[in-house]
């Protein structure tokens, strides 16, 4: 079986090509390699030196403007003035850890938790999605008494030691833990079925039985609720509920990883799990909640978190700092004031309509899927049908870069274009992306 590429290898610049770059770029690449070593990846066949950004646009040192169709961390737009002002104001007043009393973290927590089902009414703040995933695993193990975890085959949940063990897309040199089992992504394109949910539930049941046979007690099913690293799978709404029920019937928890689909990105609701009618036991959030500030969190059912807190609790020096809270609160305010969840739904539907029109022109677009402003465009070869085309995906990514559009890839084979722009993306921006894709695909070998 072919070894899938690491999430860090997809669309990565080959450092061996540094000598072929123009002098200014070559010097920066060599400086980076000297300081960071060879393990710090760069995007694109020709890396870009950025100096500023605003909204959906990023600006290179030479003044070139690029449409950002990839970066979800600045969720409400790069350098949004309301977030910048809130962070700057708070930084000039107070920034310390959470072992003191200050008001804005409570205001933020109340506003954030109000967006969850009433059963999920506690929150713990961290700095990164990796820290949140790590904490969620610890809480689940304490509550269930088990350690077995089920994830999808190309999942990515973070980069701590414990979380890397449940992140298959970290690469072949990052082995999964013996307490981990993987299940295929809910991919109705490559694995056609009349009932995606039933098949996923059966796969999860088989994975739990495998853990049991090896003497590993099951703890949790953890999924990114739009399966972004697996290739973006969103439909039909509700398909994930059966798998969550299987996990609970087996004595485990359901952990919703909302780092990428959360905060309105799917357009239907604030959280990806809401599309499936699920109330999770634990919810993992990450940096999109702070628009680029290091803000992250775990939301939890009080009974689940309380069991963990009685024995150890959790403290993070910068998690939930006044500045972090100011950033998070400002993001919630922008989402509401600018109606960005509705915008994600409207523009996302408009974009996928345009992309499906392209699929009618180019047979190598195998599938277009997603929800809100999170879309996966699968590139395939026409013979044999549906075989992945990672070489074409790389060509398209770099061709769009030459046309001043930034995009990335996902999926086990790296052949799915990963489209997840800031939530202020417009129909005009969508048209620019579709036109750029048309030009690149016409030029494809």
Which tens digit of pLDDT belongs to each residue from 263-308? 999 999 999 999 999 999 999 999 999 998 999 999 999 999 998 9
Q: What is the mean pLDDT of residues 397-422?
A: 96
Q: What is the mean pLDDT of residues 122-135?
A: 96
Residues composing the chain: 445
Q: Is omega for the bond preceding 114 within 30 degrees of 0, making it cis? A: no
Whether the per-residue pLDDT at 314 is higher than 90: the answer is no
- Which range, of 315-319, 413-417, 434-438, averages the lowest pLDDT? 315-319
**Pairwise CA distance, residues 49 & 31, whole Å:** 13
Whether the per-residue pLDDT at 318 is higher than 70: the answer is yes
**Pairwise CA distance, residues 318 & 327, whole Å:** 13
Cβ contact 272:225 at 8 Å = yes
**Pairwise CA distance, residues 225 & 326, whole Å:** 27
| Average pLDDT for the chain | 93
Whether the per-residue pLDDT at 6 is higher than 70: the answer is no
Position of tokens 């299940």? 183
In 157-200, beta strands by DSSP E: 180-183
What domains does the chain contain, in order, with CATH numbers?
Answer: 15-76+340-443 (3.90.1150.10), 81-337 (3.40.640.10)
Most confident of 7-11, 35-39, 93-97, 322-326: 322-326
Question: In this predicted model, what pLDDT tens digit does every residue of 349-402 receive, in sequence order?
Answer: 999 999 999 999 999 999 999 999 999 999 998 767 789 999 999 999 999 999
pLDDT of residue 183: 97
**Pairwise CA distance, residues 254 & 234, whole Å:** 18
Question: In this predicted model, what pLDDT tens digit does every residue of 237-273 receive, in sequence order?
Answer: 999 999 999 999 999 999 999 999 999 999 999 999 9
Whether the per-residue pLDDT at 326 is higher than 60: the answer is yes
pLDDT band at 403 (very low <50, low <70, confident <90, very high): very high
Cβ contact 31:1 at 8 Å = no
| pLDDT greater at residue 214 or residue 24 | 214
Burial (CB count <10 Å: 0-12, 13-18, 19+), residue 105? buried
Residue from 440, 279, 288 nearest 374 by CA: 288
pLDDT of residue 19: 72
Q: Is 283 helix (H, G, I), strand (E, B) or coil?
A: strand
- Which range, of 48-57, 59-68, 382-391, averages the lowest pLDDT? 382-391
Whether the per-residue pLDDT at 144 is higher than 60: the answer is yes
What does pTM read for this prediction?
0.93
Whether the per-residue pLDDT at 171 is higher than 90: the answer is no
């Amino acid at each position: 079986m072919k070894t899938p590429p690491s999430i860090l290898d997809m669309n990565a610049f080959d450092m061996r090509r540094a000598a072929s770059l123009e002098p200014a770029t070559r010097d920066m690449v060599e400086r980076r390699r000297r300081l960071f070593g060879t393990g710090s990846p760069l995007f694109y066949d020709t890396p870009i030196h950025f100096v500023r950004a605003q909204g959906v646009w990023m600006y290179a040192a030479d003044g070139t403007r690029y449409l950002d169709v990839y970066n979800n961390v600045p969720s409400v737009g790069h350098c949004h003035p309301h977030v910048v002002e809130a962070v700057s104001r708070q930084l000039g007043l107070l920034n310390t850890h959470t072992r003191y009393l200050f008001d804005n973290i409570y205001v933020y927590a109340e506003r954030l938790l109000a967006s969850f089902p009433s059963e999920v009414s506690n929150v713990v703040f961290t700095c990164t999605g990796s820290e949140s995933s790590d904490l969620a695993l610890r809480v689940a193990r304490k509550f269930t008494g088990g350690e077995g975890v089920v994830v999808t085959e190309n999942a990515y949940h973070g980069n701590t030691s414990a979380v890397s063990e449940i992140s298959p897309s970290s690469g072949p040199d990052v082995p999964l833990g013996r307490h981990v089992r993987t299940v295929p992504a809910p991919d109705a394109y490559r694995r056609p079925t009349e009932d995606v949910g039933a098949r996923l539930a059966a796969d999860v049941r088989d994975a739990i039985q495998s853990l049991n046979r090896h003497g590993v007690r099951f703890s949790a099913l953890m999924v990114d609720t739009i399966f972004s690293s697996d290739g973006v799978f969103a439909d039909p709404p509700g398909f994930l509920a059966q798998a969550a029920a299987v996990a609970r019937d087996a004595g485990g928890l359901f952990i919703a990883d909302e780092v990428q689909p959360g905060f309105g990105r799917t357009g239907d609701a604030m959280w990806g799990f809401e599309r499936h009618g699920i109330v999770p036991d634990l919810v993992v959030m990450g940096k999109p909640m702070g628009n680029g500030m290091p803000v992250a969190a775990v939301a939890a059912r009080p009974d689940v978190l309380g069991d963990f807190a009685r024995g150890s609790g959790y403290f993070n020096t910068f998690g939930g700092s006044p500045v972090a809270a100011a950033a998070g609160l400002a993001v919630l305010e922008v989402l509401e004031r600018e109606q960005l969840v509705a915008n994600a739904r409207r523009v996302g539907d408009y974009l996928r309509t345009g992309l499906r029109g392209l699929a009618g022109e180019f047979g190598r677009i195998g599938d277009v899927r997603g929800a809100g402003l999170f879309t996966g465009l699968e590139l395939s070869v026409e013979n044999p049908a549906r075989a992945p085309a990672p070489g074409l995906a790389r060509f398209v990514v770099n061709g769009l870069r030459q046309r001043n559009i930034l995009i990335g890839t996902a999926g086990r084979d790296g052949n799915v274009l990963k489209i997840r722009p800031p939530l202020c993306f417009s129909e005009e921006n969508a048209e620019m992306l579709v036109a750029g894709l048309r030009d690149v695909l016409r030029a494809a070998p």
